[in-house]
Amino acid sequence: MTTTPQSTAADEHLAEWADRQAKAEAMIPVVGRLYREFGVVTSIHGRTLLGQSPTDILKAHRFARRVDIELTLDDTLPLLEALTALQPGPASVDVARLHRRRLETGEDVSLEDFLRAELGDVIGKHGGDEGESADVVLYGFGRIGRLLARILIEHAGTGHGLRLRAIVVRKGADNDLSKRASLLRRDSVHGSFPGTITVDEDNNTILANGTLIQVIYSDSPASVDYTQYGIDNAIVVDNTGKWRDELGLSQHLQCPGVSRVLLTAPGKGGLPNIVSGINDAMIGDADVVTAASCTTNAIVPALKVINDEYGVVGGHIETVHSFTNDQNLIDNFHKGERRGRSAALNMVLTETGAAKAVAKALPELEGKLTGNSVRVPTPNVSMAILNLTLEKAVEREALNDFLRQASLYGDLHKQLDYVDSPEVVSTDFVGNRHAGIVDGRATITAGDRIVLYVWYDNEFGYSCQVVRVLEEMAKVHPPVFPAV
């Protein structure tokens, strides 16, 4: 066979790819050991490394190069190996941001000394006081409940932190347990459960990746004695949406073994509506807390950074929202206006309280925003369009650069993401862990007026925010490195 320049180049590219795959494969056990033995969660600009394939790890490195600076496997693997050798305690480590800090420090500082300086609070803390654990009960097991279960199982780690102990549902059929497990195992939007699930019909339990979940059947939030299942001082996450005020949700507090309640919906009255990263300080010792709505969580981080930098005079928020289970599949009676019409066949104009709810998280914006919503025939991922008037003019490039930097290195980098691509569509954001993702290509500016387009996975992204609120309530969130 004749060798040509083209075939030689092809062989070289293939060999280079194989080498990169081998390095990514070598990284997998190191990432796993850091998590299982030390409780260290590693990521690249919010893209988790845990449980990823070699190709996914390579894609995460490519993402880092595309949005910021070059990050190679030759940078990442030695850093993770050096961190492992230092026997750290639980922590959340963003490798890309840590690598940038390393470059800023200079090569004259050894990697070990650099890590000791940056992560000094947790270095050598393996086997020491790893913090408390907190029992979690999911009351209801619908779309959000099952995604919360997936995230909590994924975060189980060394057994410290949040521990999913039980789910509470009404019994729907004789084979209820197997059906609940099947819905956890398979999801038409988010794909198959990443692991193994075993059902124990005799004991009413589901074993998922080593997490034993007690399934409790009850028709009333005040009728369960959780202590008989070994559950104590638990936080109950109410996913049903049936009770929205303190009186209704406080029924959970009557149950032995329950200490606090978190609602996965906007609360009524004076309940603290928490958007993680924004107003966590409001949680305090409150017995009942709400995690607001998916839309409120999506828009508040972007509004926060914009208002802090440019000042918001006023504006309108329009939400293009995927249909939800409270709509009808085909036309039928519904107590809400327009929502009785087929969700799969129509765009449905409806109202949203998200714009008003912003003021609960950002009081400085009270009375400055209006809002509306259009439900559309997609099963997941929504978009908020922020039409704002600012206190000062800004050019499109400057605004986008500010938002990109905020998403990478700002205080809200876990809540705010940024994308700059002419080809992305809604399904590209399924599974995104951020509360909202600014689409830089769609940004419009005209003097002091701007229009921002913010994507959000209204199921999974919101569920990640709920878990962050849970961690804050339980005081079990590991320290984040590098510090902002």
Residues 6+ apart with CB under 8 A from 278: 300, 301, 304, 361, 362, 412, 415
Structure-block tokens of residue 429: 């954001």
Which residue carries 């894609």 as its tokens?
59
Kind and range of the H or E run holding 22: helix 5-38
Comma-separated ranges of CATH 3.40.50.720 domains in the chain? 133-265
Q: Does the N-terminal peptide bond of residue 29 adopt cis geometry, omega within 30 degrees of 0?
A: no
Comma-separated ranges of CATH 3.30.360.10 domains in the chain? 294-458
- What is the value of pTM for the model shown? 0.93
Question: Is 133-265 assigned to CATH 3.40.50.720?
Answer: yes
DSSP 273: B
The CATH fold of domain 294-458 = Dihydrodipicolinate Reductase; domain 2 (3.30.360)
Structure-block tokens of residue 402: 């500010």
Q: Is 294 a catalytic residue?
A: yes
Q: Say what the pLDDT of residue 131 is.
A: 58
As a whole number of angstroms, the distance between CA 66 and CA 59 comes to 10
Could you give the count of Cα atoms lying within 13 Å of 426 in the half-sphere of its Cβ? 17
Q: State the chain's maximal CA–CA distance in angstroms.
A: 81
Handedness of CA 482, 114, 69, 53 (dihedral sign): negative
As a whole number of angstroms, the distance between CA 53 and CA 59 comes to 10
Q: Are 224 and 198 in contact (CB under 8 A)?
A: no
Residues 6+ apart with CB under 8 A from 335: none
Q: Say what the pLDDT of residue 351 is.
A: 84
Structure-block tokens of residue 137: 């009960």
Structure-block tokens of residue 462: 């919101």
Q: Say what the pLDDT of residue 128 is.
A: 54
Profile the chain (484 residues) by mean pLDDT over runs of 10 residues. 70 89 94 91 91 92 84 92 92 92 84 91 72 90 97 83 95 92 97 95 96 95 94 96 92 96 92 94 94 96 98 97 93 92 94 87 95 96 98 97 94 95 96 97 98 98 97 90 82
Q: Say what the pLDDT of residue 127 is.
A: 61
Among the listed residues 136, 234, 255, 294, the single catalytic one is 294
Q: Say what the pLDDT of residue 321 is.
A: 97
Q: Are 59 and 67 in contact (CB under 8 A)?
A: no
